[in-house]
Amino acid sequence: MAKIGQVEGIGPVFLAKLEAAGILTTEALLEKGGTQAGRAALAAATEIAEKRIMSFVSRADFMRIKGVGRQFSELLQNVNINTVDQLASASAEAVNASMTTVNDQKNLTKVVPSVKQIQKFIDLAKDLDSLVSV
């Protein structure tokens, strides 16, 4: 697992709050924030909004998939895919189409992953344990 500061959106202020709560790695974030109750407890302990905690948890979950980077995880969230489980059950063609539409509107990344790349991510996601509930 990675250091918590490698998660997209966790800057110095959020990093300090999460570290003060004992969250130093993405593994710790997934362990403590994988459930709704855990996210609520983290939000209370860190004074970070629960919705933002969910965003960080989601991005940490996607980081478990080889090849999924910071921008791609943000793009997934923008097409309402928030967990590895949701990605595992998605259609590569539908995800690609949604990502293209969102990226055209928001310009989140230079290149949208191809259907073939997304299918590879979906296949990798199917082999991972479920760590996050929404």
Domain count, the chain: 2
Say if 104 falls within a structural domain.
Answer: yes
- Give the rounded percent of residues in the chain with a pLDDT score beyond 90: 92
What's the confidence (pLDDT) of residue 75?
A: 92
What's the confidence (pLDDT) of residue 29?
A: 98
pLDDT band, very low/low/confident/very high, at 98 (cuts 50, 70, 90)? very high
Q: Which residue has the higher pLDDT, 42 or 74?
A: 42
Are 44 and 81 found together in one domain? no
Are 80 and 52 found together in one domain? no
State the pTM of this model: 0.91
Dihedrals phi, psi of 35, to nearest 5 degrees: -115, 160
Residue 132 and residue 84 in contact, taking contact as beta carbons nearer than 8 Å:
yes
Helix (H, G, I), strand (E, B) or coil at 25: strand
Say if 133 falls within a structural domain.
Answer: no
Which of these three, 23, 45, 62, is where a domain ends? 62
Q: What angle separates helix 50-62 from helix 36-46, to the nearest 10 degrees?
A: 120
Q: Which whole-number Å values give the CA distances from 115 to 43, 56, 60, 78, in the listed order?
A: 36, 25, 23, 17
- Enclosing domain of residue 114: 70-126
What's the confidence (pLDDT) of residue 51?
A: 96
